[in-house]
Amino acid sequence: MSANYVHDMTEGNEVSLLVKFSIPMLIGNIFQQFYNLIDSIVVGKFVGAGALAAVGATGSISFLFFSVCLGLSVGVGIIISQYFGAKKEAQVKKAIANSIYVIAFSGIVMSIVGVALARPILQLLKTPPEILDDAVKFLRIVSGGMIAVAAYNAIASILRALGDSKTPLVFLVASCIVNVVLDFIFVLRFGFGVAGTAYATVISQAIAALGCIVFAVLKNPYFKLKEEHLRVDWAIITKCIKIGIPVAAQSSMIALSLVALQSVVNSFGEAAIAAFTATSRIEQLIQQPFNSLGAAISTFAGQNIGANKLNRVKMGYRKSILIIAVFSLAALLAAQFGGRVIMEMFVKDEAVIALGAKAIRITSCMYFPLGMIYITRGLLNGTGDAVYAMVNGFVEVFGRVGFSIVLAMIPAFGVWSVWITTGLTWLITATASVIRYRQGKWKNKSLVMH
């Protein structure tokens, strides 16, 4: 039974292991993108544009609160993957128990902060008065259910650390379906409006978290915890925080840099905003395979550095580069020759289509560096060099803010400065990541050997 839900990545063909691990995550990521689209349609069509704006106004704040829980979940996964690779079963179980304490505490704290500060934060961000009350209501409900988000991501991260990327996918898909069904029930049937969509989100996340926990306890041998595993271990808790906080800080900084870039986009008018929105959605889809492979290489690197197989970590990284090179080339060709067709899927306005088609051709030249960011960051995180994640975040902030300000001031670049900024930011971030990898400091960052 355990063989189905625990997978040792310290043995076997690297490419096969990475691809098999990545595919369920890729499916889940794409499914979630699809669900987000449906969720927006339900709110916009059946509640109104104001409601959609109110939900959208909370996005960056929700992400910042969520980043703390997500970062700690990543830290938990890294520690457990390394203990698992080192074949330290008792430590894996202790890490699972103590990580639950960390995640539960962070989820409760973020819930309290979100509920208490929803209105002042949204006012600080100059949320329009006509949507403020709805935005506050939505943010408070979603923040109140932050513990469910934290729980699902923690359990999913633990299962992936043990080599199981399929189980989290099953419960993610189930959660998305439940969310859409509840959206229709709460919004159309009961007329709850924005509050209905928030309740649907929280309930579906709670179901996913509970389902994952129950399934893990029943099926995964590492969740068979005894009293000695449940004791508080401050060394493990400290490691969770040491790894998790830099990852959380990185996510927060990237979110802030995107907000800064959006302000530059807004200065170029409605057509530029529409084109940027469309190209951003395309980029999100392009990034999903990179994101999934990055998560795979993180678990792979964690298990293998725990097993002290440094050469295998290097081999996995090299083969990951080949995988993203093939995908990047295919995506580049599609963007260069089919950019206009892709844009026509999103909008009908000729000016926006022309703008977006050229924009895609610009950023597609940097798809390979974009992929390098994900796999190098994944490897560095997995080996325990997560402090660099924060440095990586600073580089992205510097790139998006710095390039956008400088290029926007040069008339020759004009509106294209937005997408040139995106491409150059990917390039310098990838370069910084590869330099860090080649310095080799990750080889001595193992969390289970010290």
The Cα 163–Cα 4 span in angstroms is 10
The per-residue DSSP string of 182-204 comes to HHIIIIIIS--THHHHHHHHHHH
The Cα 178–Cα 168 span in angstroms is 15
Where is 47: in which H helix or E strand? none
Which residue has better confidence, 173 or 375?
Answer: 375
| Closest to 183 (Cα-Cα) out of 199, 159, 167 | 199
The Cα 393–Cα 446 span in angstroms is 22
| Closest to 306 (Cα-Cα) out of 99, 158, 412, 448 | 448
Which residue has better confidence, 289 or 1?
Answer: 289
Per-residue DSSP letter, 410: -
Residue 43 reports pLDDT greater than 70 = yes
Contact present, 9 and 300 (Cβ < 8 Å):
yes
**Could you give the angle at the alpha carbon of 19 between the alpha carbons of 13 and 25, nearest 5°?**
140
Amino acid letter at 54?
A
- Residue 110 phi/psi, 5° resolution? -65, -35
Structure confidence at residue 49 (pLDDT)? 67
Contact present, 392 and 248 (Cβ < 8 Å):
no
**What whole-number percentage of the chain has pLDDT above 90?**
26
Structure confidence at residue 369 (pLDDT)? 96
Question: What is the band of 1 on the pLDDT scale with cuts at 50, 70, 90?
Answer: very low
Which residue has better confidence, 163 or 60?
Answer: 163
Residue 226, sorted as left (phi over 0), alpha (psi -120 to 50) or beta, turns out to be beta
Terminal-residue alpha carbon distance, the chain: 33
Instruction: List the structure tokens of 177.
Output: 């379906």
Residue 370 reports pLDDT greater than 90 = yes
The Cα 247–Cα 249 span in angstroms is 5
Identity of the highest mean pLDDT range in 158-167, 310-319, 396-405: 310-319
CA 358 to chain centre: 27
C-alpha distance from residue 411 to each of 265, 415, 416, 417, 418 (Å)? 15, 9, 10, 9, 13
- Owner of token pair 């703008």: 355
3-state secondary structure of 154: helix
Q: What is the CA radius of gyration of the chain?
A: 22
Structure confidence at residue 329 (pLDDT)? 96
Which residue has better confidence, 61 or 246?
Answer: 246
Residue 40 reports pLDDT greater than 80 = no
C-alpha distance from residue 133 to each of 3, 51, 120, 138 (Å)? 51, 10, 12, 9
Which residue has better confidence, 336 or 31?
Answer: 336
Residues 80-114: pLDDT tens digits? 999 999 889 899 999 999 988 988 898 899 899 88
**What whole-number percentage of the chain has pLDDT above 70?**
93
Residues 175-224: pLDDT tens digits? 888 988 998 899 888 888 888 888 988 999 899 899 988 998 898 888 88
Q: Characterize 139-150 residue by residue with b for buried, 16 or more Cβ atoms within 10 angstroms of its Cβ, and e for exposed.
A: bbbbbbbbbbbb
Residue 2 reports pLDDT greater than 50 = no
Structure confidence at residue 269 (pLDDT)? 76
- Owner of token pair 């900084």: 253
**How confident is the prediction for the chain on average, in pLDDT?**
85
Question: What is the band of 446 on the pLDDT scale with cuts at 50, 70, 90?
Answer: confident
Residue 319 reports pLDDT greater than 90 = yes
The pTM assigned to this predicted structure is 0.81
Where is 435: in which H helix or E strand? helix 417-439
> For the chain, which residues make up each domain, given as ranges?
2-14+24-232, 270-444
Structure confidence at residue 141 (pLDDT)? 92
Question: What is the band of 127 on the pLDDT scale with cuts at 50, 70, 90?
Answer: confident
Identity of the highest mean pLDDT range in 5-19, 36-50, 90-104, 366-380: 366-380
